[in-house]
Amino acid sequence: MSTAADGTPIDDWIEIHANGRVTVKTGKVELGTGLMTALAQIAAEELDVAVEDIDMAGPWTGRSPDEGYTAGSRSIKDGGAAIRRAAAEARQALLELATAQLGDALTVARGVITGPGGRRSYAELMGGKPFHRTIDGRAPLKHPESYSVVGTAVRRADIARKVNGLDGFVTDIRVEGMVHARVVRPRTFGARLVDVDTSALPDGVIVVRRNDFLAVVADREEVALAARAAIRPLWTDGHPLPPMDDLFGWMRRQVTDDSDLVSWPRSGDVAAGQRTIVRDYHWPFQAHASLAPSCAVADVRPDGAVVYTAAQGVYPLQRALAQLLDLPPASIEVIHREGSGCYGHNGADDAAADAAVISQELGRPVRVQWTRFDELVWARKGPAMTTRMTAELAPKGRIAFWSADIWTPTHGGRPARPDQLIAGRLRDGLAEPEATAYIGGGRNAQVDYDIAAQRVTMRWLRKPALPGSALRGLGATANTFANECFMDELAALAEVDPVEFRRRHLTDPRALAVLDAVTQACGWGLPLPAGRGRGFAYGRYDGTGAYVATVAEVSIVDNEARVERLWIAHDCGLIVNPDGLRNQIEGNLIQSLSRALIEQVRWDAGGLLCTEWDSYPILRFTQIPPLEVILIDRPDQPPVGAGEPATITTAPAVANAIAAASGVRLRQVPLGGQLR
């Protein structure tokens, strides 16, 4: 397997300093998942140094490797593989240096090589110089059975810092001469700025207005905030939105670009006793709702710029900002700093573009802090999807034919051009572009059940109802909801236990292993009190990723479903850090339960209605059930990432549990409030 490191210099990835410390550079960003610790473990393992001796250096254009975006649960799989390869090459280079000085029969331990001629530390061997050697991908890799650092629960270095309030977040960046800005935007999209009444503004406020781009700037942050409240912009109505209560009907009436992901013909005639079943499932628009709104600091000068951002890709943002600012890409330094937990393409890129545009206008460094309103209304949403499932159920509980028709807009939308950035569209009067590629909606559209005749058709909307992009799981959330609820409905019609029904259609031993592990853990099949029910859901993320199987237990209290407990069995191949992995899985379960039960972006004719936490609530402490996480470690299998897989099976498991407990089948998320 090739990696991003192959053919590049070791020095792009690893530096060994004279004081013995090792810098490992990555193009993947820390999104709040502990990735940097896991990558340090991989480097430490392959390089034979202590993990404490490693300093991770995050993305910074011109200094770090270009690994595109940090997305798709690929940071361990791809970013980790690249670092592993680079570290192996570095170790090989050090061994060759040591052979010349110490002879053969060398041993390596914690950055020290010992041989017949004595011992040398890596730092002594390198003498503070670079490697000057290309990674050819042929250096031997350690066998996972010999691992001593990978697979252990190394503590996260960033947590030690964060409990003490030491700086490190993008919100903490302060640069000399910096001013504070707030953007001013309506709760609609496509509105034009007709007029601005600035008569009530506090003293010392600068108004930046270019076409529909409006911002207020002040030396002090509270003055900028007060100015945002006091300014009176007059906007036109903006693009009309389809009526919210007809969203899914509207989606199905749009012109779509259709493509079959699978089209395996049905075999012969319909057997006697075969039944055709058709069901519709719906998933709403949902928000990232990151805990803190996006923030960025930009210092744009005539000959270049420095931008601090929590965006998921510093190099792609650099290219987009170059066009926005009309500067050469290489003159723009984009530096990643951690932001609030990031679950996809949230407002980070747009806040960076806002800061850059304002800084360019004023010729001063600018810090833009989005408000809760900005983040909830203007950060791109996880797109709504609607699906029609059709199956033919043969006698003896086998699925003879399976089809899905999936209406979705693209789940892409990451900025490559000014019209894909809010600041670009507003400043230059550009329209939101139509999708140029259809991305992400087809994740988990195809089931890995053993069904000979299948058709899965993507019906891509050219324009979404609301601006959308990648939100954790992308189409896999809605698709797994449809697939796994439908499997349950078919099992019920076939009068077969839903887990047994799936078992009949699965052959992959790793799939069966997660199914067995979770059903044993929860005591599947044991009787439950009246008013309680359990639901099961299975998925393999994006077809080739982690295997997950989830069970939810719900009770019905006062015509409302209460989730009592969730169990999950999770197989993502080799486990790099079991505690970090558990943390990820727990987080996925809680966030996806919140999305399944209560989350939905609402709007009316006047625009979006999710403007603060009251109008876009998320689950709180007393609403969160106990979780049981079963990790299946497979050292013989490559690690495939865990950022999203555990998200996809929660909603169908809960819907299936509600059906089991109440007899009522819910086919639309959010599931809460529908039994009343």
Partner 1 sequence: MFTINVNGVDHRVEAPGDAPLLFVLRNDLGLHGPQFGCGEEACGACKVLVDGAAVPSCRLPLQRVGAARVVTLEGLAEEGEPHPVQRAFSDEQAMQCGMCANGMIIEAVALVMRGNPTDDGIREALQDNLCRCGAHHRIVRAVRRAADELWR
From the list 359, 360, 519, 591, which residue makes contact with partner 1 (rule: CB under 8 A)?
A: 591
From the list 52, 96, 197, 222, which residue makes contact with partner 1 (rule: CB under 8 A)?
A: 222
Q: Which residue, 268, 238, 358, 346, is CA-closest to 307? A: 358
| Rounded Cα gap, residues 666 and 631, in angstroms | 30
- Is 412 in a helix, a strand, or coil? coil
Smallest separation, CB 633 to partner 1 (Å): 19
Cβ proximity to partner 1, 162 vs 417, nearer residue: 162
| Rounded Cα gap, residues 463 and 481, in angstroms | 23
- Quick check: 116 and 104 in contact, CB under 8 A? yes
From the list 3, 26, 61, 290, which residue makes contact with partner 1 (rule: CB under 8 A)?
A: 290
Smallest separation, CB 591 to partner 1 (Å): 5
Cβ proximity to partner 1, 143 vs 620, nearer residue: 620
From the list 3, 12, 14, 34, which residue makes contact with partner 1 (rule: CB under 8 A)?
A: 34
Facing residues of 275 across strands? 393
From the list 81, 95, 589, 658, which residue makes contact with partner 1 (rule: CB under 8 A)?
A: 589
Q: CA triplet 201, 203, 206: central angle to 5 degrees?
A: 75
Smallest separation, CB 290 to partner 1 (Å): 6
Smallest separation, CB 162 to partner 1 (Å): 4
Smallest separation, CB 226 to partner 1 (Å): 8
Residues in Cβ contact with 457 at an 8 Å cutoff, skipping those fewer than 6 apart: 258, 259, 260, 261, 403, 404, 405, 406
Query: Any contact of residue 341 with partner 1 (CB under 8 A)?
Result: yes
Long-range contacts of 430-434 (CB under 8 A, 24+ apart): 431/190, 432/189, 432/190, 432/467, 434/462, 434/463
Q: Which residue, 649, 293, 642, 302, is CA-closest to 478? A: 649
Query: Any contact of residue 500 with partner 1 (CB under 8 A)?
Result: no
Cβ proximity to partner 1, 61 vs 577, nearer residue: 577
**What is the strand order of the sheet 532-540 is part of?**
532-540, 547-557, 560-571, 627-631
Q: Which residue, 399, 393, 402, is CA-closest to 276? A: 393
- Quick check: 461 and 251 in contact, CB under 8 A? yes
From the list 10, 12, 32, 476, which residue makes contact with partner 1 (rule: CB under 8 A)?
A: 32
Smallest separation, CB 636 to partner 1 (Å): 27
From the list 312, 386, 588, 600, which residue makes contact with partner 1 (rule: CB under 8 A)?
A: 588
Cβ proximity to partner 1, 204 vs 433, nearer residue: 204
Provide the mask over 351-370, with x wherever binding to partner 1 is found by CB under 8 A and - wherever it is not: ------------------x-
Cβ proximity to partner 1, 289 vs 575, nearer residue: 289
Smallest separation, CB 333 to partner 1 (Å): 22
From the list 220, 232, 253, 602, which residue makes contact with partner 1 (rule: CB under 8 A)?
A: 220
- Type of residue numbered 231: I
From the list 339, 415, 441, 539, which residue makes contact with partner 1 (rule: CB under 8 A)?
A: 339
- Type of residue numbered 498: P
Cβ proximity to partner 1, 267 vs 613, nearer residue: 613
Q: Which run of H or E residues covers position 107?
A: strand 107-109
DSSP string for residues in 555-600: EEETTEEEEEEEEEEEE-SS-S-HHHHHHHHHHHHHHHHHHHHT--
Q: Within 10 A of 189 (CB to CB), how many other CB atoms are there?
A: 18
| Rounded Cα gap, residues 109 and 651, in angstroms | 48
Smallest separation, CB 493 to partner 1 (Å): 35
Q: Which run of H or E residues covers position 209?
A: strand 206-210
Cβ proximity to partner 1, 169 vs 264, nearer residue: 169
| Rounded Cα gap, residues 250 and 261, in angstroms | 23
Provide the mask over 150-189, with x wherever binding to partner 1 is found by CB under 8 A and - wherever it is not: -----xx-xxx-xxxxxxxx-xx-x-----x---------
Query: Any contact of residue 33 with partner 1 (CB under 8 A)?
Result: yes
Residues in Cβ contact with 578 at an 8 Å cutoff, skipping those fewer than 6 apart: 151, 152, 153, 631, 633
Facing residues of 457 across strands? 260, 405
Query: Any contact of residue 539 with partner 1 (CB under 8 A)?
Result: no
Cβ proximity to partner 1, 62 vs 626, nearer residue: 626
Smallest separation, CB 611 to partner 1 (Å): 10
Tell me the site size for partner 1, rule CB under 8 A: 60
Provide the mask over 228-247, with x wherever binding to partner 1 is found by CB under 8 A and - wherever it is not: --------------------
Q: Which residue, 133, 592, 202, is CA-closest to 382? A: 592
- Is 304 in a helix, a strand, or coil? strand
Query: Any contact of residue 342 with partner 1 (CB under 8 A)?
Result: yes
Smallest separation, CB 557 to partner 1 (Å): 17
Q: Where would I find the H helices in 344-412?
A: 348-362, 372-378
Q: Which residue, 45, 42, 51, is CA-closest to 21? A: 51
| Rounded Cα gap, residues 76 and 37, in angstroms | 11
Length of the chain: 676
- Quick check: 152 and 576 in contact, CB under 8 A? no
Smallest separation, CB 622 to partner 1 (Å): 5
Residue numbers 607-666 binding partner 1 by CB under 8 A = 612-614, 618, 620-622, 624, 626-627
Q: Structure tokens of 218?
A: 């002040």
Query: Any contact of residue 530 with partner 1 (CB under 8 A)?
Result: no
Cβ proximity to partner 1, 164 vs 199, nearer residue: 164
Cβ proximity to partner 1, 332 vs 566, nearer residue: 566
| Rounded Cα gap, residues 35 and 17, in angstroms | 23
Smallest separation, CB 368 to partner 1 (Å): 12
Smallest separation, CB 451 to partner 1 (Å): 34
- Give the torsion through C-alpha atoms of 246, 252, 253, 258, to 10 deg: 160
Smallest separation, CB 372 to partner 1 (Å): 4
Smallest separation, CB 437 to partner 1 (Å): 29
Smallest separation, CB 572 to partner 1 (Å): 17
Residue 304: is it exposed, middle or buried by C-beta count within 10 angstroms (0-12/13-18/19+)? middle
Q: Structure tokens of 173?
A: 């960046």
From the list 338, 354, 448, 484, which residue makes contact with partner 1 (rule: CB under 8 A)?
A: 338
Cβ proximity to partner 1, 343 vs 460, nearer residue: 343
Piece in contact with partner 1 (CB under 8 A), picked from 335-343, 349-357, 403-411, 415-423: 335-343
Query: Any contact of residue 47 with partner 1 (CB under 8 A)?
Result: no
| Rounded Cα gap, residues 24 and 87, in angstroms | 9
Cβ proximity to partner 1, 19 vs 622, nearer residue: 622
Cβ proximity to partner 1, 318 vs 359, nearer residue: 359
Smallest separation, CB 228 to partner 1 (Å): 10
| Rounded Cα gap, residues 197 and 234, in angstroms | 8
Residues lying near partner 1 in the complex (CB under 8 A): 31-34, 155-156, 158-160, 162-169, 171-172, 174, 180, 220-223, 225, 289-293, 295, 338-342, 369, 371-372, 579-580, 583-584, 586-591, 612-614, 618, 620-622, 624, 626-627
